[in-house]
Amino acid sequence: MNKASSFIKPSFSGFAPQGLKFLHNLDANNNRDWFAKNRNDYIRYVAEPMKQLVMSLTPMILELDPLVITAPHRIVSRIYRDTRFSHDKTPYRPRTWFVFKREVECWTETPAYFFELGEKKYMYGMGTYSASAATMRRFRAMIDDNPELFLQIIEPVRKSKTLKLETNQYKRRLPSEHPVAIDPWYQSKSIVVFAHCEPNKTLMSPKLVHLLIERFVLLKPLYDFLWKAVV
């Protein structure tokens, strides 16, 4: 995809195997003493590459949506967990992620682009973490108004070998006379399209930037459609 190359800044060189090893060891040694001894590895192999990845993607993401937040310190997850309201009292997260989101009161109810890295897999995609019921009613009404348009919007996802719709559907089926291709989207409580990948050469190279650009651009029509449904 030629369009992707014009957006790329040559700062991200890929995640090193040491980053995955750090996340593996953190999962096995999730305590403050171990983290203090290995903090430099976290910064070098996890935190800095994530920051570089965000910065490399920023020009493209601002072309897709000028309103998203791009400052790494605001959109990259913290390694420290908030354990105040959790049964899991381990102090650190053995994974890291970023979310390109708009400055809204509750971003989890609105569309966003994301990437997540763990020891055994990485994932990326776009969607609403927890769409409101009102948003999903509007989403279905928009499909009802123009199902042919929606079929065109989701066609790239349906043809993709990697991108999948998360099928968290209502227990009671909603009445619908739409084509089979539309039905899973119509029955979903929230819309998230994602891809899961095992660690590979793409993850370890600048090609990851190309991959994410291509997928985020491909999901742009659906992203816009979802934003129109936000109420």
**pLDDT for position 8:** 46
CATH of residue 75: 3.30.930.20
Domain that holds residue 72: 2-229
Q: What is the pLDDT of residue 88?
A: 78
Instruction: Find out whether 121 and 196 touch, Cβ atoms under 8 Å.
Output: yes
For the cut 70, the answer to whether the pLDDT of residue 193 exceeds it is yes
Question: How much is the pLDDT for 77?
Answer: 96
Which of 66-80, 85-99, 187-201 is least confident?
Answer: 85-99
| Interval 145-188: pLDDT, tens | 999 999 999 999 999 999 999 988 888 888 888 899 999 999 99
Conformational region of residue 17, where left means phi above 0, alpha means psi within -120 to 50, and beta covers everything else: alpha
Mean pLDDT, rounded, for 209-222: 97
Q: Which two tokens stand for residue 167?
A: 């099928």
Q: What is the pTM of this model?
A: 0.92
Question: Checking phi first, is residue 173 left (phi over 0); if not, alpha (psi -120 to 50) or beta?
Answer: beta
Task: Give the closest residue to 8 by CA, choosing from 212, 226, 209.
Answer: 209
Q: What is the structure's pLDDT at 5?
A: 45
Phi, psi of 3 (to 5 degrees): -60, -35
Residue 67: pLDDT band by 50, 70, 90 thresholds? very high
User: What integer pLDDT is reported at residue 109 of this predicted model?
Assistant: 92
pLDDT above 90 as % of the chain: 83
Count the domains in the chain: 1
